[in-house]
Amino acid sequence: MSKRFRPDVDVAPWKGGHSPYDIIKEGTIALVVVGLLTLILAVVFGSPDELAITIKTWSNATPLDFAATALSELNLTSGTAQYGAPYNNASTGQQLGPLQLAKWVGARIPINTVNDFVIDPLKSLPAQPDLSTGLKQWSSASSATRSHWVSSYTKASAKMTFVNGQVTVTASDVGPLPVLINNLTEMARSGALDQALVTQAGFYTTDFTLPLLFLADGSYLASLADHQHLTGDQWGMMNETGNYPGQAWLWLYTFWYQIPPFNASGNGDVLVWGLMMALSVVLLLVPFIPGLRSIPRKTRIYRVIWREHYQSVAKE
């Protein structure tokens, strides 16, 4: 052999003996054991199934949070409105150093929060005189007029009240906004908005992008998640509702979100993703990475695993 023997890469051909080992029997026993264990755990502990919330439950539980979120879709301050790609071009989005990955891919799931979340759903309601007038007033106004209305309404919205099922804001020069916000809140509380947001693409639908984004723009969903210990700064990605084990294998991914610079950076998500991808490549290439591939030989844990072998070698 001319090439030097590398202990972490090469092996000498096995010259020792063989003994009977029934892999099919081993596999069958493993299947029975895993099957029984699964059965026992399922019978004893069951599994979680916390009911999905709806825009109806949200707007009935906290109508003012809903109305404020609807307003944020109109004045473009909501999370979705300011998101950037893939929903719109409102911001650059996150960057990995000079790489503007999201922006380069572009707004491929275009969402116009004003129309998609507010105006179009309202148009789908059965005609009511004040709403029809309000919608007509909105659609015939110039965009300058609209933003003037929206900003006057926003200024006054700190004193928004919800009494007798009506959202009220005392303000002038706000055009049809009180009617629109109040009607959308009524629509949400009746459950009709849940429907309108999923049927925009037609009768059949399996896409919940719009209602999920709307829910996530409010604070109700996050407050429920916080109660269940699921938020990002609570290591929530590994957690499951209730006392069930979750995705414990995400421990490293969720760990980075707890420490600087990731927890303080506006680019935290892309930094963590970049790091995890790099670490995955490292794991993939362990057999080729000097140092990392020597740890097993140096820790000598293998002496325990193969102790019978080394005992019999020592005897010879």
Q: Which of residues 92-131 bind another protein (CB under 8 A)?
A: 93-94, 101-102, 104-106, 108-109
Q: Which of 4, 16, 172, 290 binds another protein (CB under 8 A)?
A: 16
Residues 31 to 50 in contact with another protein, rule: CB under 8 A: 31, 33-35, 37-39, 41-50
User: Taking contact as CB under 8 A, which single stretch among the options 11-19, 117-125, 138-146, 186-194 is the one that binds another protein?
Assistant: 11-19
* Contacts of residue 62, Cβ cutoff 8 Å, sequence gap at least 6: 218, 219, 220
CB neighbours (10 Å) of residue 226?
Answer: 14
Residues 293 to 312 in contact with another protein, rule: CB under 8 A: 293, 295-297, 299, 301-302, 304-306, 308-310, 312
Q: Does 287 bind another protein (CB under 8 A)?
A: yes
Decide whether 152 or 209 has the Cβ nearer to another protein: 209
Decide whether 137 or 231 has the Cβ nearer to another protein: 231
Q: Which of 2, 7, 98, 291 binds another protein (CB under 8 A)?
A: 7
**Could you give the 3-state DSSP secondary structure of residue 106?**
coil
Decide whether 158 or 278 has the Cβ nearer to another protein: 278
Residues 194 to 253 in contact with another protein, rule: CB under 8 A: 206-209, 212-213, 215-216, 221, 224-225, 227-232, 234-251
Residue 119: DSSP 8-state: I
Q: Which of 2, 3, 4, 12 binds another protein (CB under 8 A)?
A: 12
Decide whether 140 or 298 has the Cβ nearer to another protein: 298
CB of 197 to another protein, least distance (A): 12
Structure tokens belonging to residue 118: 């507010």
Residue 310: DSSP 8-state: H
Rounded-to-integer distance, Cα 192 and Cα 195, Å? 5
Residues 128 to 147 in contact with another protein, rule: CB under 8 A: none
Decide whether 159 or 297 has the Cβ nearer to another protein: 297
Q: Does 24 bind another protein (CB under 8 A)?
A: yes
* Contacts of residue 168, Cβ cutoff 8 Å, sequence gap at least 6: 160, 161, 162, 178, 182
Rounded-to-integer distance, Cα 225 and Cα 2, Å? 63
Nearest to 125 by CA among 182, 204, 54, 68: 182
* Segment (H or E) for 309: helix 307-315
Q: Which of 2, 3, 4, 18 binds another protein (CB under 8 A)?
A: 18
Decide whether 170 or 248 has the Cβ nearer to another protein: 248
Rounded-to-integer distance, Cα 73 and Cα 116, Å? 9
Q: Does 85 bind another protein (CB under 8 A)?
A: yes
Rounded-to-integer distance, Cα 86 and Cα 93, Å? 9
Binding-site residue total for another protein (CB under 8 A)?
A: 117
Q: List Cα–Cα distances, 153 to 89, 131, 276, in angstroms.
A: 25, 17, 44
Residues 49 to 78 in contact with another protein, rule: CB under 8 A: 49-53
* Segment (H or E) for 163: strand 161-163
User: Taking contact as CB under 8 A, which single stretch among the options 124-132, 156-164, 177-185, 285-293 is the one that binds another protein?
Assistant: 285-293
CB of 185 to another protein, least distance (A): 21
Decide whether 165 or 242 has the Cβ nearer to another protein: 242
* Contacts of residue 58, Cβ cutoff 8 Å, sequence gap at least 6: 65, 66, 188, 215, 218, 220, 221
